[in-house]
Amino acid sequence: MNKLKYHFQFDFQLIKGIYTIPFIGYLLTLVLMFISYPEGSNLPYIFLQGIAIPFAGLHLVFLYSSIYDEGATDTLLPYYSKNIAYDFLRYGIFHGLIILLLMILLIFAMGIGFFNFIMIIHLILLFVFYQLIGVSLLTLVKSLEIAIVIIAMYTVIEISTVILENYLPWPHLFIFEKAYYNISLFLTFFFLITGILLSIAQIVRTFK
């Protein structure tokens, strides 16, 4: 336990102020979830998907961005290769527990009847996707700023489509309403699983 605590403290000292950004995302999600909405609105669930879960994946992107600092790649890549599974595990558990807490609060807000097995599986896959995609993009573009912009642009457009009720014809990773078996749901799961597998392949290729 002391070793785990030390590693989190080390990460905080390494990336300093930006370490707090995911927690700001969680606070924003919490505030938005409990604003008064019209009866039957799915916006609290959209905010859980579109704010909390993407923010949950940022710590690993921030942490691994130091690999691509000028002249540091050859030195740091072997070190991070030895620890990447451990880092994904500890941050996955840490943020997974926070998302679980937010989900429990959402159940109190919207009622347990809102959720079904499909939506729970979807949230798990979406969480895994955002844990992986940031590091995967980082290894491709080799820039923290570009990786964050790509993730942010997609996520913001996804949220805006449901708020503006203007669903764009592109791969959707979010579920905008209570899930039912249809082609749209199938495609959402297909794109999520494909994204997860491609991200894993890219990360393994980089850190093997």
| Span 56-95, pLDDT tens digits | 999 999 999 989 876 778 888 888 899 999 999 999 999 9
| Span 183-206, pLDDT tens digits | 778 888 999 999 999 999 999 999
Looking at residue 76, its pLDDT comes to: 85
Least confident of 15-19, 53-57, 124-128, 176-180: 176-180
Distance in angstroms (rounded) separating the CA atoms of residues 138 and 54:
15
| Of 115, 121, 120, residue with least CA distance to 178 | 115
CA distances from 127 to 55, 56, 66, 95, 124 (A): 10, 8, 23, 9, 5
- Tokens linked to 156: 């913001």
Least confident of 43-47, 87-91, 94-98, 134-138: 43-47
**pTM (two decimals):** 0.90
| Averaged pLDDT for residues 96-108 | 91
- Tokens linked to 180: 């039912």
Give the domain ranges of the chain: 2-207
| 38: number of Cβ within 10 Å | 6
Looking at residue 187, its pLDDT comes to: 85
